[in-house]
């Protein structure tokens, strides 16, 4: 096999591991915090449903990352290796940025990173004259960036409504409040599965999108994203969850004990629904940011004793920083790799 | 170990209502100790009185620390289901319960009860009992906060809480009546007690009554906080 493809697989696996270890763990942490599920249960659920989501519903977003932003077919018809190198540069840049921000506990989204770094490749290709600047799918890119604003807001709205309904139907009529909360524990089992499935369907693209693009232009695969690529991404994320993510789940779970099952259910249901909707619309969004929106929604509905809005500014600044940094790093790595391979 | 996490779940802040309830408990416990101190005072047991005073002092200090913690825990970025100003003014009243218990205990230590007539002693024990009763009911009320939050302020729960508040206020009124009656008896016995003694006892009546006063005004602020939400 081509050295570039092997490098892409390895980098993709690293990215998948990272996503599993952090983002999946973030998404699942709410179920542990409420005491709904044990750590072991969460890992099993996360593993199974993340994998299913990635394999059976991950293709759309993966296609977006692979060919929705940069016209890889045009570049590929000139020289397939440029695409392979560009995609390798993109995933390395995203992986590097995500690792760095994990080190400094910054809430950076892997989706934003990969979109930024793929864009960086597109820009350097335009700079080199391989494509015209207008060949980059700016319309699609605008839609993606808009979805980064819409998804947390939508999460907030759905969670607000969900919790308001629960409040009216169950909490306000409760004769035995602890019993109501206990009943929601079993419902949380379902939303945890839903959450993992939704996450897998959207985030697998961040790991294997670049690989899918390279395989396509090199003629290894057809127009469809091959299933083994999605399986590989799914496995990588599950391994990340099992080897490192459980620690993250534990830490988060111990910090958000304020989130009772009714609140946790509302936030999870809203997040998973919004994420799945975006997977269906082929838009790569941040599950974690959507979850924050949802938690704020539950808070605004009066469900949480204290909502700290400081996190919004941390998220917004991470948005502003991520795309240009990932794009620039990706372009620089591309220039370096170009010298080696071409 | 450093957490290698990119998490945003600190959006769920620490609830100020948990320490708020603990803060109420400190105040009530201080009043419980004050009642014991009062018995020791009337029995002329200086050793127990001093012991209780130290305990009350510690409880008041603990309450102060909790108050600081609550205040520090609600910067402008934190959103609560109630008005922050209401919460703070409620906290201030609640904090005064322990303050008054402490002041009363200090006051007892200033001047031993040597030649107090029995009826005055009994009057003080009765007044203390009524004050303690008010504070205990207030404690029950503060315990309702948890349920209010858990049900996200259900109408039923708000109604239940609202029925306790007038009861606290009624008990506080009983204390006022006892205060006046006791003051009257103190002046009737002014020959036996002496001028300085009368002065001291008036101060003690005020402080013990203050405990009930503050319990009632905390209850009142709690009402404002819940209803204005």
**pLDDT digit string (tens) for B159-217?**
999 999 999 999 999 999 999 999 999 999 999 998 999 999 999 999 999 999 999 99
pTM reported for the whole predicted model: 0.90
* A52-81 residues touching B, CB cutoff 8 A: none
Percent of chain B whose pLDDT exceeds 90: 81
Strand partners, B160: none
Pick the closest to residue A234 from A106, A38, A56 (CA basis). A56
Residues from chain B that touch A291, judged by Cβ atoms under 8 A, are 8-9
For residues B105 and A262, give the distance between their C-alpha atoms in angstroms, rounded to a whole number.
46
Put simply, the answer to whether B13 touches A307 (Cβ < 8 Å) is yes
For an interface test with A, which of B12, B16, B76 has the most A Cβ atoms less than 10 Å from its Cβ? B12
Put simply, the answer to whether B11 touches A311 (Cβ < 8 Å) is yes
Residue B212 distance to chain A (closest CA, Å)? 29
Q: How confident is the model at residue B2 (pLDDT cuts 50, 70, 90)?
A: low
Position B1 pLDDT exceeds 60: no
Q: How confident is the model at residue A314 (pLDDT cuts 50, 70, 90)?
A: confident
Pick the closest to residue A331 from A107, A86, A157 (CA basis). A86
Residue A219 has φ and ψ, to the nearest 5°, of: 80, 10
**pLDDT digit string (tens) for A188-216?**
999 999 999 999 999 999 999 999 999 99
Residues from chain A that touch B8, judged by Cβ atoms under 8 A, are 26, 107, 288-289, 291-292, 311, 314-315
Q: How confident is the model at residue A1 (pLDDT cuts 50, 70, 90)?
A: low
Percent of chain A whose pLDDT exceeds 70: 100
pLDDT of residue A220: 80
CA–CA distance from A147 to each of A143, A274, A322 (Å)? 6, 11, 16
- Mean pLDDT for the stretch of residues B57-63: 97
Residue in B closest to A181 by C-alpha: B150
- Mean pLDDT for the stretch of residues A238-243: 93
Position B113 pLDDT exceeds 90: no
Put simply, the answer to whether B6 touches A101 (Cβ < 8 Å) is yes
In this complex, is the C-beta atom of B146 within 8 Å of any C-beta atom belonging to chain A?
A: no
CA–CA distance from B39 to each of A125, A296, B16, B120 (Å)? 89, 52, 36, 13
CA B131 and chain centroid, separation: 9
pLDDT of residue A219: 82
For residues A43 and A145, give the distance between their C-alpha atoms in angstroms, rounded to a whole number.
31
Domains of chain B: 12-227 (1.20.58.220)
In this complex, is the C-beta atom of A26 within 8 Å of any C-beta atom belonging to chain B?
A: yes
- Mean pLDDT for the stretch of residues A305-317: 89
Both tokens assigned to A120? 């960086």
Among the partner-chain residues A107, A172, A309, the one whose CB lies closest to the CB of B77 is: A309
pLDDT of residue B80: 92
pLDDT of residue A34: 77
For an interface test with A, which of B3, B6, B74 has the most A Cβ atoms less than 10 Å from its Cβ? B6
The ipTM (two decimal places) reads 0.83
* A281-310 residues touching B, CB cutoff 8 A: 288-289, 291-292, 295-296, 299-310
**pLDDT digit string (tens) for A134-153?**
999 999 999 999 999 999 99
pLDDT of residue A325: 97
Q: How confident is the model at residue B60 (pLDDT cuts 50, 70, 90)?
A: very high
Residues from chain B that touch A171, judged by Cβ atoms under 8 A, are 150-152, 154
* B59-98 residues touching A, CB cutoff 8 A: 73-75, 77-81
Residue B213 distance to chain A (closest CA, Å)? 29
């Amino acid at each position: 096999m081509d050295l570039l493809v092997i490098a892409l697989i390895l980098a993709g696996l690293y990215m998948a591991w990272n996503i599993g270890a952090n983002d999946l763990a973030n998404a699942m942490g709410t179920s542990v915090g409420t005491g709904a599920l044990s750590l072991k249960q969460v890992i099993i659920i996360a593993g199974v449903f993340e994998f299913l989501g990635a394999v059976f519903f991950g293709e759309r977003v993966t296609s977006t990352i692979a060919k929705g932003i940069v016209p890889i077919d045009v570049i590929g018809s000139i020289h397939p290796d440029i695409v392979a190198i560009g995609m390798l540069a993109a995933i390395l840049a995203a992986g590097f940025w995500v690792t760095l921000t994990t080190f400094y506990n910054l809430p950076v989204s892997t989706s934003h990173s990969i979109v930024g770094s793929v864009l960086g490749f597109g820009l350097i290709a335009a700079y080199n004259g391989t494509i015209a600047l207008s060949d980059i799918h700016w319309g699609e890119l605008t839609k993606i960036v808009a979805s980064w604003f819409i998804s947390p807001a939508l999460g907030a709205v759905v969670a607000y409504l969900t919790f308001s309904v629960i409040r009216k139907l169950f909490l306000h009529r409760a004769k035995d409040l602890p019993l109501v909360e206990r009943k929601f524990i079993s419902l949380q089992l379902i939303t945890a599965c839903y959450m993992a499935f939704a996450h897998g369907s959207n985030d697998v693209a961040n790991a294997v999108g670049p690989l899918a693009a390279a395989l396509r232009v090199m003629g290894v695969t057809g127009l469809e994203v091959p299933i083994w690529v999605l399986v590989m991404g799914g496995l990588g994320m599950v391994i990340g969850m099992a080897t490192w993510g459980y620690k993250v789940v534990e830490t988060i779970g111990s910090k958000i004990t304020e989130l009772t099952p009714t609140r946790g259910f509302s936030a999870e249901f809203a997040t998973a629904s919004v994420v799945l909707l975006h997977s269906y619309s082929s838009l790569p969004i941040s599950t974690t940011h959507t979850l924050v929106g949802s938690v704020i929604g539950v808070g605004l509905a009066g469900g949480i004793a204290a909502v700290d809005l400081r996190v919004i500014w941390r998220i917004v600044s991470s948005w502003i920083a991520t795309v240009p940094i990932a794009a620039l790093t990706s372009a620089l790595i591309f220039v370096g790799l170009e010298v080696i391979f071409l | 170990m450093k957490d290698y996490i990119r998490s945003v779940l600190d959006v769920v802040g620490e609830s100020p209502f948990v320490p708020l309830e603990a803060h109420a408990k400190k105040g009530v416990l201080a009043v419980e100790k004050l009642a014991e101190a009062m018995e020791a005072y009337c029995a002329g047991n200086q050793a127990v009185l001093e012991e209780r005073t130290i305990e009350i002092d510690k409880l008041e200090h603990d309450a102060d620390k909790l108050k600081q913690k609550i205040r520090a825990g609600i910067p402008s970025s934190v959103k609560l289901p109630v008005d922050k100003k209401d919460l703070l003014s409620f906290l201030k009243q609640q904090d005064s319960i322990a303050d008054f218990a402490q002041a009363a205990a200090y006051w007892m230590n200033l001047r031993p009860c040597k030649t107090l007539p029995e009826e005055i002693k009994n009057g003080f024990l009765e007044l203390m009992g009524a004050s303690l009763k008010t504070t205990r009911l207030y404690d029950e009320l503060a315990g309702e906060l948890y349920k209010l939050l858990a049900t996200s302020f259900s109408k039923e729960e708000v109604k239940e809480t609202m029925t306790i508040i007038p009861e606290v206020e009624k008990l506080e009124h009983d204390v006022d009546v006892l205060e006046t009656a006791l003051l009257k008896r103190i002046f009737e016995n002014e020959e036996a007690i002496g001028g300085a003694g009368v002065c001291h006892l008036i101060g003690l009546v005020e402080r013990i009554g203050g405990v009930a006063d503050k319990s009632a005004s905390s209850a009142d602020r709690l009402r404002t906080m819940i209803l204005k939400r």
